[in-house]
Amino acid sequence: MQNAIDHIVCGAAICKFYTDETLFTVIEFQHVNKWYGSLHVLRDIQLKIERGEVVVVCGPSGSGKSTLIRCINRLEPIQSGEILVDGRQLSDPRLDLRALRTEIGFVFQQFNLYPHMTALHNITLAPMKVKGLARAEAEKFALALLERVGMQDKAGAYPANLSGGQQQRVAIARALAMQPKIMLFDEPTSALDPEMINEVLEVMTNLAKEGMTMAVVTHEMGFARQVAHRVIFMDEGQLIEQESPETFFKAPKSPRTKLFLSKILSH
């Protein structure tokens, strides 16, 4: 009898695991808090990002946007709460951090390409060293990625000889080289001259259309309107508002969001 109950309980647990939203939630913040010394940079963050969802994060400078997304691949540790990526707890001491990071592509504001390597080698490094791909195979894949970001002609160029927009596109290709399930962008167009912003946004828009799960810190409100499924507003480490783009821009609830939007949309 006891045995039968065990079976039922166990069956229910398994059943719960498969039917629960965990299957669709790729990133989850549970009451996350983070401090830099005495500075409370993330305050009780609760957030879920679903598979295939594109989430834009905006907010004033210093509000904790970068910190928020850097926690997702554990570039920054958190002090309390929990973050789950694909159901894995980032606080788990047995977590395979390398495996996790290969599933998450990260694109930086300052590109951070390896200056001593060509565009092609920037992309092949991780597949060769982490996945153990042979050079020929890695290069073939890298060339396909360069084509995807419209940079196939610049495979042999060094970063310093590329424009900002071109460097950022190579950086996106490098992040895609490990075939991640999630892509994180930290102000990918903020360091670019205005005429280069669109070429990068275009690559990102295509990624979104292909169904990539994306969290994008950006102030490009056009991108947020057209591509995002959800817009998140942060201020002073708090997640103030998360809405669909329509609601976010037409009818923001919080006065802080309204103030922010009036500043950023006025020019």
Partner 1 sequence: MRYQFDWSVLWSGQTGQWLLQGISTTLEISVLAWLLAGVLGTLSGALRTAGPRPFSALSAFYVEFFRNVPLLVWMFFWYFGIPLLLPRLAQDWLFAHGAEFWAGMFALGVYHGARFSEVIRSGIQSIPKTQLEAALSTGLTVTQAYRFVIIPIALRLLIPPITNESLNLLKNSSVALTIGVAELTFQTRQIETYTAKAFEALTAGTLIYLVLCLGLSAFMAVLEKRCAIPGLIARVTPAEH
What's phi and psi for 185, nearest 5 deg? -125, 125
What's phi and psi for 80, nearest 5 deg? -150, 165
Binding of ligand ADP at residue 252 (CB under 6 A)? no
Binding of ligand ADP at residue 61 (CB under 6 A)? yes
Look at residues 92, 34, 44, 31 and name the one whose alpha carbon lies nearest to residue 66: 34
CA 110 to chain centre: 15
- Looking at the Cβ atoms of 102 and 189, the one nearer to partner 1 is 102
Side-chain-side CA neighbours of residue 212 (13 Å) = 26
- Choose among partner 1, ligand ADP, Mg ion, none what residue 99 binds, the Cβ cut-off being 5 to 8 Å by kind: partner 1
Binding of partner 1 at residue 135 (CB under 8 A)? no
Q: Least CB distance from residue 37 to ligand ADP, whole Å?
A: 7
**Contacting range for ligand ADP; rule: CB under 6 A; set: 34-42, 91-99, 100-108, 152-160:** 34-42
Q: Least CB distance from residue 135 to ligand ADP, whole Å?
A: 37
Given candidates 32, 47, 54, 64, which one binds ligand ADP under the rule CB under 6 A? 64
- Choose among Mg ion, partner 1, ligand ADP, none what residue 115 binds, the Cβ cut-off being 5 to 8 Å by kind: partner 1
> Residue 109 corresponds to which amino acid?
Q
The C-alpha atoms of residue 44 and residue 256 are separated, in whole angstroms, by: 18
The C-alpha atoms of residue 127 and residue 64 are separated, in whole angstroms, by: 31
Q: Least CB distance from residue 60 to ligand ADP, whole Å?
A: 7
Note whether 112 and 122 are within 8 A (CB): no
The C-alpha atoms of residue 167 and residue 158 are separated, in whole angstroms, by: 9
Look at residues 123, 187, 197, 111 and name the one whose alpha carbon lies nearest to residue 154: 123
- Choose among Mg ion, partner 1, ligand ADP, none what residue 143 binds, the Cβ cut-off being 5 to 8 Å by kind: none
Residue with tokens 């994180």: 184
Q: Least CB distance from residue 69 to Mg ion, whole Å?
A: 9
Binding of ligand ADP at residue 63 (CB under 6 A)? yes
Residues 58-77 interacting with Mg ion (rule: CB under 5 A): 66
Instruction: Please give the residue ranges that form the binding site for Mg ion (CB under 5 A).
Output: 66
What is the binding site for ligand ADP (CB under 6 A)? Answer: 36, 39, 41, 59, 61-67
